């Protein structure tokens, strides 16, 4: 089924067309799952949180008023779920991820290049995890997701200047934390 987000929402809300809801969710699943992973850096957790996000979106769809794009509304739900998870994790530090897998580099890399790439990836993930959730979100939304500052501000429900400030601070902190890897 095709159509704009609003057409699919109307087809589901007004006529109960399940195919419209499926198409709408499928359209946004990859991007939402990606942003969640970039925030939590854990595949299994990202899958669980993404499922929760879409469950909440479907439950909230009848009240979606269209004051923003559907994608902005969905990203806002995603960020709220991620922030809630991070807050719960902070209050209960005994829950710790044990998945320390690192994706392999290209097939043509030698052992030294693969090791260096794995070390860099691990350092970047560690540095990202050490950022506050708001700074991490600013980097994830603008640099990794390619959202404009205005889109990121709408998702984060803040001023554009705040996004610029958060990105600047996040980059500064990442640069300091990754100093050993700079040439």
Domains of the chain: 1-94 (1.10.1740.10), 109-183 (1.10.10.10)
pLDDT tens column, 70-112: 999 999 999 999 999 998 888 875 544 434 333 444 445 566 6
- Its pTM stands at 0.74
1: which DSSP letter?
-
| Contacts of residue 28, Cβ cutoff 8 Å, sequence gap at least 6 | 70, 71, 74
């Amino acid at each position: 089924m095709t159509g704009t987000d609003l057409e699919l929402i109307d087809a589901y809300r007004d006529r109960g067309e399940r195919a419209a809801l499926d198409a709408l969710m499928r359209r946004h699943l990859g991007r939402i799952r990606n942003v969640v992973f970039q925030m939590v850096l854990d595949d299994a957790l990202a899958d669980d949180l993404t499922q929760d996000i879409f469950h909440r979106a479907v439950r909230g769809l009848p009240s979606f008023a269209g004051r923003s794009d559907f994608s902005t509304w969905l990203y806002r739900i995603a960020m709220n779920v991620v922030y809630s998870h991070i807050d719960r994790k902070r209050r209960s530090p005994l829950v710790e991820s044990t998945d320390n897998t690192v994706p392999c580099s290209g097939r043509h890399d030698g052992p030294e290049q693969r090791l260096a790439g794995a070390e860099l990836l691990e350092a970047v993930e560690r540095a990202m995890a050490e950022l506050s959730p708001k700074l991490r979100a600013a980097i994830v939304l603008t640099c990794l997701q390619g959202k404009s500052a205005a889109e990121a501000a709408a998702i984060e429900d803040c001023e554009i200047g705040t996004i610029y400030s958060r990105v600047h601070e996040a980059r500064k902190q990442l640069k300091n934390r990754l100093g050993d890897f700079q040439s």
